[in-house]
Structure formats: structure tokens, C-alpha cells
Amino acid sequence: MSHGLVDVLLATYNGARYLEAQMDSILAQTYQEFRILVSDDGSSDATPEILRAYQARLGERLVIVSNPRPGGGVVRNFEHLMLASLNDGVARWVAFSDQDDVWLPEKIASTLQEMIRVEASDGAHVPCLVHSDLMVVDEKLSVLSPSFARYQKMDPALCSPLSLLSINQVTGCTMMANRALLTLALPLPSEAIMHDWWCALASGSGRRVFVEAPLMLYRQHGANQVGARDRSLGTRLVRMFTDGPGVFRRVRALGDATYRQAEALQRRLQERKADGLYVSEYLAWRRRPWWQRLVGYRHYYVGPDLDRLSRCLLWFK
């Protein structure tokens, strides 16, 4: 059954090795009312030739969106695609796609089902984001973990708009967003750490739904932009002992970045007259001395206890 057009936003950069497998998995979806918008970030491999070959086969179902500033990075590449879909005004929803994964056949249908359910309840004017779990696989698609959420020791179903301000639990390549969320999220501020995290934060003033079923294969290889990391206690202790100063610097840098991102979100919600009380609460809490933040820090920080405590002690404002 057709419900409307979905734009698949595919950002590419030197992805020739895995691009055809991803394209074929998108084309094999059970829900077929979609088109693919692709923006390349200045590839020097065969990616552009592969895309042109698919465009010759697919015609208007594949739109190559010219990138006016190639080399700007993944965040700006996705922003370019988001703007192209929103300004075009045809598709009701967008689904984000990386270039090196493999979608399972029900991916679009399953996320769209949840999106339609939410919009029927709350209205299409409410910013809504739907995301799912995924299977972690190696370069040859052998399963490393049946659940990315469990592999990362996350629980996306239980995280709140408040806790998302500190740690992202929304994987961008699983996301579907409606036009209301695109309108609120765009343009992406310079403080946005990643496009998917910013979209997740924007959904805090609307609705976010997590589909627990894994709907895609998340391929791990040497060039992942983010990737899945082993977050077991043993591995983390090894990192601490072998690269303690580096771990400290990364934790502190993330603390500074999340604070600036939250400030940008507060400004955006104020500009759009959307609910931002939870952001104000978070920023006020981040400004407290660490000994005051020790009380109730689990409410603001989710994930493994070692992560929570390190943020509480090392994130200053």
C-alpha cells in the first residue's frame, strides 16, 4: 500500500567499494514509493561513475544533487541533501543512508509504519523522528553483533530528550524524519556535532520513536565515519591505561562540544517558539559545580556507569 513519497538521502564520498551493494539493497525495499537523492562530497574514486550508471537505469528515481561545496564533510553533505528535499517540497518524509551499509527489505516500510502512526495521532506538523536498531557486521557482512544498541551498551528506547543532550543514541543511517523535523532542524548550526545527533535533539520538542528490530546491516571497516566500538569494561580500561591523556582530552572536548550544541538548540527552539524548557534545565545543571552534579547525574547522563561518572567529573561549565 502506498502512503506517499520517501526521499532517501544518500551522502557519498569515495564509496565505490561498497556503494553498489547499498544501492541494490535500497532498490530491493518492499516499499517502493521512494526516490534517491545523492550528493557526492568530491570523490576521487569510481563513485561518480557508479552513480551515473544507476541514474541511467533509474531515471527520475535517482537525483544527483550537485554539491556546491565539495569537501565540506559528512555533516554539510547531509545538510545539503536535507535542504534539497525540503525545498523541493514533494516527499513527505526522508530516510538517511550511508554509502557502505546494506538495508534489509523492510527498512523503509517498518520505519514508515511508525511514522504514519505518530502523525495520525499527533499531526504531521509535529517534528517526528523514527530510528531503529541495526546489526553490526564486518566487511564481508558476517554478523559481529545482532544488536548495535546492545553492542554499544545503549538503550535508545529509554533515553530522554534531556539525556540525548549529553550522548547520542540515534544512529543516523537508520533515521526517518518528517518535513516538520527538517524545517526545525535546518539550517544545521556550526555547533552541531553530527547531523543525526542534531536531528535527534530537534525531535525533543516533538516525537521520537525507536524500532527495536534491526533493519539494516551496519558494515564495519577501516574507514567508517563513526562506527561501532567495543565498549566492554576490559577494553575501556585498556584504553585508559595505554592512552590516559588522550582519553581525558577527548572526554573534555566532547563536554565542551555538547554544551555549545545545547546552547545552539536553546537558541533554535526560542527562535521557532518551540518547547525548550528541558534544554534550559540541562544547561543550568551543567553550570553547577561537579559536587552538586553528583546528585542525580544518572538522570542527565545515560550509558555505562564509567561513562556517566567521567562526564560528571570532567565536563565543566
Tens-place pLDDT, residues 206-250: 999 999 999 999 999 765 445 555 555 556 556 666 766 777 788
What is the model's pLDDT at position 308? Answer: 81
Domains within the chain, CATH numbers bracketed: 6-219 (3.90.550.10), 233-314 (no CATH)
Q: How confident is the model at residue 80 (pLDDT cuts 50, 70, 90)?
A: very high
- Quick one: pLDDT at residue 2? 66
| pLDDT level of residue 3 (50, 70, 90 thresholds) | confident
What's the rounded mean pLDDT across residues 164-181? 96
Q: How far is CA 64 from CA 15, 59, 155, 236, 260, in A?
A: 15, 10, 36, 42, 33
pLDDT of residue 242: 72
What is the C-alpha separation between 169 and 155, in angstroms, rounded? Answer: 8
DSSP-based three-state secondary structure for 187: coil
What's the rounded mean pLDDT across residues 158-169? Answer: 93
Instruction: Provide mean pLDDT across the span 256-277.
Output: 96
CA distances from 32 to 105, 139, 180, 315 (A): 10, 27, 23, 46
Mean pLDDT calculated for residue range 251-259 = 93
CB 65 within 8 Å of CB 78:
no
pLDDT at 203: 97
Q: What pLDDT is stored for residue 270 in this prediction?
A: 97
What is the structure's pLDDT at 312?
Answer: 80
pLDDT at 236: 57
Sign of CA dihedral 102, 91, 2, 50: negative
pLDDT of residue 240: 61
- Please provide residue 219's backbone torsions phi and psi, each rounded to the nearest 5 degrees: -75, 130
* Lowest mean pLDDT across 4-18, 67-81, 95-109, 224-238: 224-238
Averaged over 299-316, what is the pLDDT? Answer: 81
Mean pLDDT (the chain) is: 91
Of 239 and 67, the one with more pLDDT? 67
- Position 75, amino acid: V
From CA 236, how far away is CA 238, in angstroms rounded? 5
pTM of the complete model beyond 0.85: yes
